[in-house]
Structures are given as structure tokens and as C-alpha cells.
Structure 1
Amino acid sequence: MIIEGVSFSGIAVALLCILLLLSKKRKRHDDHYLILWLLVCITNLSYYAFSNFLPASLQSFGFTLPVLSVAMLYLYVISMTFNIQFRFTYILKHALFFIVYNFVFIMVSIFYEKIVFIDGIPYFSARGNNLLINALTLPMAVAPILYIIFSFLALKKYQKLLPEYYSTLEKINLNWMQYIILSLIILFFIVIGIISFGTKLNAIPISHIFKIVGAVQAIYISYIVFFSLRQSIVINQNISFTNENKEKTALPDDKLVELSQNVLAYMADEKPYLNEELSLSVLSASLGLSTNQLSQIINQTLDTNFYKFVNAYRVEEVKCRLKNREYNRYSILGIAYECGFNSKSTFNKIFKEETGMTPSEYKRFSQTN
């Protein structure tokens, strides 16, 4: 009963998340992919709980739902990271393996030997040719791993690009998703172990195998739902990377030097870095430049990236205020927040990288000399 309860709680959490997402007035593309993934998860958990109620001809579709689930999770990940649009063609493309895989199951069952499912696990009706049934189920192991790897690589690429476009990364770095994707590999081996112990060693009753798998999956759904909803609430800016033609927007060296002086003057006079959500696109629009042109100026002429460029100004602003005794009534963290930082840990890290001292050490040193 406890195992079933965990699975049902996963279904309830997924349904609640869907309702919350549907109630949003302005939905992003990743919201739609999240809803789609949750619907597949609900179907999958329902199959694990009530596999015997599914007609024999449709059992393979229930058995292979994890493949479809991981594919839809991948679409959700790349929609969050690279803002791909919600399109039926993308969904069909990544559901194609699921469709073809089930077609093979059906063809083998019709023309070779009938495949029966007992408690959600496929067998040949004559209980023969285990090699073929293992070959048929092997893609169930390979496809999810490939999608997990693709998701992880997409996240790594995204995180590598972020410092080129944003000055504040804590809310948008998606570290939580990276940890979940990595742990999915562990989950995969746990599931394989549960199925192996249950079917080959009879360590777990066959009727309980997929109920246990469903309970584990429900826990993962709850984690992803929690962090996804928090991410959706926290992020106010659209995460996007430019698709401009770099060759067309590239600037000659003499022009780069001239424009870099304009950028430095603007930063000193207008102090746009005080805005914690300052991004490459916002700053480039203020300067009348394309994002690629501004990126070229920062990368080539100033020899840094946007993240380091902006936060160096923030550190200098904090240093000036820490030297000024008029700011003694403010906490160091309060000053940091006013200067554009929005995370204590990030502020402390960047400040020490820039000065070689902690903020409190710098304050004591600057006011005693």
C-alpha cells in the first residue's frame, strides 16, 4: 500500500503542476513541454499501477513509455536552455523511436511468436528464445541513456554560454537540472537492478516490480516539479542567445577600440551594472550596438566575458562604498545588493577573486589605512 501511495502521490503532484501551469497567463515554450512530459509521466505511472487493465494489444505501448518520457524530458531541457519553440514536428521527431519500437513489437508478435505481458514484463507465449526477447528490450536500456547524455550536454553548453550573455547567473544556471539529469543515470541502474532481481533471481515478486519502479519515478517527478515551478516563478527575464550573423556584425580593429572607449565611458557614467538583471541584450540596446558587436568588443578588446566585465564594475562600486565611512551604517551584504549582486555566495567569491581579500577584510584594511 505504501508503494502504491507513493506512485499515486506522484500522479497527484503531476496533475497539480499541470493545473498551475495551465493557469499561467503567459506561458513559455518550456511550460508546454513540461506539461507534455508530465502527461506522459502520469500515463506511465498509471500503467505501472494498473498494467493488467491495459488490453494485450496495447501492453507494449505501456511497457515502452519510459522511452517516450525521457524523450519529452529532453525536449523540456533544451526548451529551457535554448528556448526552442513548442512544435508538433519536434514532438513527432522525438516520439518516432517510441512509435517504431512498438511497431516492431507488434510485427514480431504477429509474424513470429506472440508476445505476452505478465505484470508489465514481456515474454514469448511459448517461453522460448530469450535471446530475441532480450534483443527486443535492449533499446529500452540504450535510448534513455542516450537522451540523458544529450540532455546533460545541452545543459553544459548552456552553462558555458551564460557568462557571455548575463551578469547574474544564480537564478538561471539550472544546476538543479544538471544534478537531476546525472542522478537519472543512477536511477536507470537501480531500475535495471530491480527488474533483474525480480525476474531472474526471484528476489522481488514480479507483481511488485513496476510498482517499485513507479514509486521511484514518482519521487523524481516531485523533485523536478518543485524545482521547475520555482524556476518558473523566479525567472523574469527570457533566456535566449543571439542568432545574429557574426560575420556581418564583426567590426574592424580600429572601430573596436573606438567603441570600447564608448562602452567604458557609458559604464562609468550611467552605472548600468547596478541593475542585477543587466544582460548583454539590454546593454547593447542602450549603446545602440548589436549583441554580437558588444560581445566582440568585450571579448576581443577588453579580453574578458560579459559576466566578468560587469561584475568587476560591481566590485569596484562595493570597494568605493566600503572605503566611505558614510556607508558604515549599512551591512556589507546590503551594499553588495545595492551594487547589483543578488547572492551572498557569488558576491563573496567574485570579490575575493578581484581583490584577494574577503569583503570584511577589505573594509577593515581600507578604513585603517
Structure 2
Amino acid sequence: MEFLDFFYFISGIQTLIITLIFFFYKSKKIKVNRYLGLFFLTLLIEIIIHFIYQNTNLKSVYLNPLKFNFLTTVLLLFYVVKISDLKLKKRILYLIPAVIEFLFFSIIYIIVLIDDTIISDQSIKNIFTTITYFSVGFNIFISIKTIRIINLHRKFLPQFYTNTKNKSLNWITVFCSFCIFYNTGIFIKILLFPWNKQIMLFLFIINILILYYISIASIIQINIINYVKIKALPQNTKQTKSEDMELILAFEQVEKFMKEEQLYLNSNISLTMFSKTVNISKSLISKSLKEKGYDNFNGYVNTYRIEGVKKLLLNESYKKYSIVAISKEVGFNSRASFYKNFKDRVGISPSDYINQN
């Protein structure tokens, strides 16, 4: 184990350096990188406490309140959420388990400082076994949630960047997958093989490898800009399915391109052409539009065109143009189609609209 402790020590030095970098290096995304700084700080503190306990074997060190079983993965989740521009409702709830853990061990720590014989070794084992069960389930849940958000981030990344190389947060997906595997291993070990030293050694090696991997991967990402503007997602997963989230995000991208690029002005715009432009499948676009009450893609486009016509009809600069000419200006290529759509959506003819305004 001394050989492994040496590598653990080297990982600690590496973690210290990376923690300082994330806190003090003025990167292009310094604010969001501070979540990674806090993430590595929790790892660093645990490594330091590990070595202090190895050299002192004091019960008070072992039971200190600076434990982050319920915080480390949450900080990584917050980093991914920030990168993805999500708004987690009731964010404080994700921190409550960590607060409870800190308060609980603070009480235990004070008791041990007063008299370290009050709490028996067996009681300590039972405490840590119980906390480990809860933390394993919690960390697996947070890791799965983080992976789901990363998948959404990856899906919409091409809408914001032509070159998506190294922007997709795959390194965090790998880490979260390792985290799920590691915590599952911890659960199996406690449940079936509580005293098996080979399993303990294997999990210890996995822990060191995970720490080394995420240290290198995170520092590579420090200056890579990979924000995407995904608005708040519904957080009630009992009522909102992942496919509903996908429809919401798809419609947001459709709206973004239609408004910013004014693609409705192109009289030849079609669902196929639009799908290639926004890099979203035709079926997903159609489903997202129907979810918002539109009959089809053409109906959605014509809604924008009619709004454009209404503005131009009342614009003094366009008084010299005929109504049909104005309709062509916003993308209509058929007089009949224009008059029908205008009457259906406004309720009156273009002439009556001008007279009434």
C-alpha cells in the first residue's frame, strides 16, 4: 500500500496545482471554471486528511467534519449546468445532503474532542457504513443527471459552433461513468465483501486513475469556450419526459434561427432546407411545432410572414408599394396564398387592415 500511497501523494500535488490554476488563472471562462476549482479543492482536502490520518491514526482526524461525500459531484453538476446555460430550480436542494453531512460530523467531532471513548469503534463503522450507502446512491443519481445534461449540451452544440472539437464535455461523461462504476463497486463491497482487501486495493487504484484522468482532462479544457444557450428546463422529471425536453429545446433553436436569420424571407424555404440549416431532423422540427400548436412548418413560416406584412403595410416608406409587392417582400410567392393566410390569421383583408389602422 505504501507504493499506492506514493502515487496518491503525487495525485495530491497535482490536484493542488490544478486547484490553484482554476482559482487564479485568468482564463476565458474564469467564473464557470471556479466550480471546477471548488471541485478539486474538495478532492485536495480529502487527500490531505487521508495523509494526516495515515500518519497520526487519530480518531478526531478520521471523524473531522470536512467530508465531501455529498458535495464533490454536485459541484461538477453545477459546472455542466452553467456551461449549458440551464437554470436548476430549487438548486439549494442539491446542497442539503452536504450541509447535513457537515453538521452531523461537526457534532461527532466535538464529542470526540471532549472524550474519544464516548463513541466506540463499532459505532464509527456503523456510521460510515450508513453514510456510504446514502452517498453511493446520491452520487450515482448526480452522475446520471450530469450525463443527461451533457447529452443535451452535445446535441445542441453544433447550433452554436461550426467546429465542435473538444467542446462536447466528453471528459466529464467519462468521469461520471467511472463514478457510477466506482460507487457501484463500493456498494457491492460493503454489501457482500466488507473485509476483502483485494477489492479495496482495486477500488483504491480506480480512485487514483479517476483523479489523474480528470485532472489532465480538465486542465486541457480550461480555455475552450463551449457555452450553449439552453434556457431553463422543467425540473419535475415525474411530469416531464426527456423527449418533452428535447421538443422544448428544438423549438427554441427553431425560433432562434427564424428570428435572427429571418429565414422566412426566403420564398423557397422548405422543411428540408430549414432542417439542414439548423441541423435538426425534420421529424423533430415538425413535432416541436405541433407541440406549440402549429399545423405544419409552412403554417409556422407564414405566421412570421404575416407579422412582417402587417409591419410593412403601416410603414410610411412602403406606402408606394402595392399590397402584393409587400407580400413578396416577406417571402410570399403566391397572391392567393398570401390573401388566404392573411385573412385566416388577422381576420380581415389587407386593405381593411390598412384602413382600420
Question: Distance in 2 between the 1:42 and 1:48 partners?
Answer: 10
Q: 1:102 to 1:20 in 2, by over 3 A?
A: closer
Do the aligned partners of 1:51 and 1:59 also contact (CA within 8 Å) in 2?
yes
Query: 1:304 deviation in Å?
Result: 3.7
Q: What code does the residue aligned with 1:15 have?
A: L
Q: 1:258 to 1:81 in 2, by over 3 A?
A: closer
Question: Distance in 1 between the 2:123 and 2:60 partners?
Answer: 20
Query: 1:3 deviation in Å?
Result: 0.8
1:289-339 Cα shifts (integer Å, max 9, x gaps):
xxxxxxxx8979723452479xxxxxxxxxxxxxxxxxxxxxxxxxxxxxx
Q: What code does the residue aligned with 1:204 have?
A: K
Q: With a CA cutoff of 8 Å and minimum separation of 6, indicate the structure with the bigger relative contact order.
A: 1
Count of residues in Structure 1 that have an aligned counterpart in Structure 2: 255
- Residue in structure 1 matched with residue 53 of structure 2 by the alignment: 51
2:175 paired with 1:180: yes
Question: Distance in 1 between the 2:25 and 2:230 partners?
Answer: 30
Out of 70, 75, 78, the residue aligned to residue 73 of structure 2 is 70
Q: 1:131 to 1:8 in 2, by over 3 A?
A: closer
- Residue in structure 2 matched with residue 10 of structure 1 by the alignment: 11
- Residue in structure 2 matched with residue 155 of structure 1 by the alignment: 150
Out of 265, 270, 277, the residue aligned to residue 259 of structure 1 is 265
Out of 302, 327, 331, the residue aligned to residue 274 of structure 2 is 302
Q: What code does the residue aligned with 1:303 have?
A: S
What is the TM-score when the length of structure 2 is the normalising length? 0.55
Question: Distance in 2 between the 1:158 and 1:215 partners?
Answer: 31
Where do residues 316-331 of structure 1 align in structure 2 (5 Å cutoff)? Answer: none
For the aligned residue pairs, the C-alpha RMSD in angstroms reads 4.7
1:67-121 Cα shifts (integer Å, max 9, x gaps):
2222222222323333889xxx96x76443112134345668999xx9989xxxx
Where do residues 325-364 of structure 1 align in structure 2 (5 Å cutoff)? Answer: none
2:192 paired with 1:220: no
Where do residues 257-296 of structure 1 align in structure 2 (5 Å cutoff)? Answer: 258-260=264-266
- Residue in structure 1 matched with residue 103 of structure 2 by the alignment: 103
Q: Percent identity?
A: 15
The structure with the larger Rg is: 2
Q: 1:109 to 1:18 in 2, by over 3 A?
A: closer
Do the aligned partners of 1:11 and 1:45 also contact (CA within 8 Å) in 2?
yes
Q: What code does the residue aligned with 1:75 have?
A: F
Out of 178, 181, 197, the residue aligned to residue 204 of structure 1 is 197
Question: Distance in 2 between the 1:252 and 1:126 partners?
Answer: 66
Question: Distance in 2 between the 1:29 and 1:149 partners?
Answer: 25
Q: What code does the residue aligned with 1:188 have?
A: N
Query: 1:140 deviation in Å?
Result: 2.0
Q: What code does the residue aligned with 1:97 have?
A: P
1:135-158 Cα shifts (integer Å, max 9, x gaps):
454212221111111211111121
Q: 1:2 to 1:83 in 2, by over 3 A?
A: farther
Do the aligned partners of 1:7 and 1:218 also contact (CA within 8 Å) in 2?
yes
Question: Distance in 2 between the 1:212 and 1:46 partners?
Answer: 21
Question: Distance in 1 between the 2:124 and 2:156 partners?
Answer: 50
Q: 1:48 to 1:127 in 2, by over 3 A?
A: same
Unaligned runs of 5+ in 2: 233-250, 282-357
Q: 1:63 to 1:251 in 2, by over 3 A?
A: closer
1:131-188 Cα shifts (integer Å, max 9, x gaps):
7775454212221111111211111121222233333322312223212211221122
Question: Distance in 1 between the 2:185 and 2:266 partners?
Answer: 54
Unaligned runs of 5+ in 1: 118-122, 265-296, 310-369
Do the aligned partners of 1:152 and 1:181 also contact (CA within 8 Å) in 2?
yes
Query: 1:9 deviation in Å?
Result: 1.4
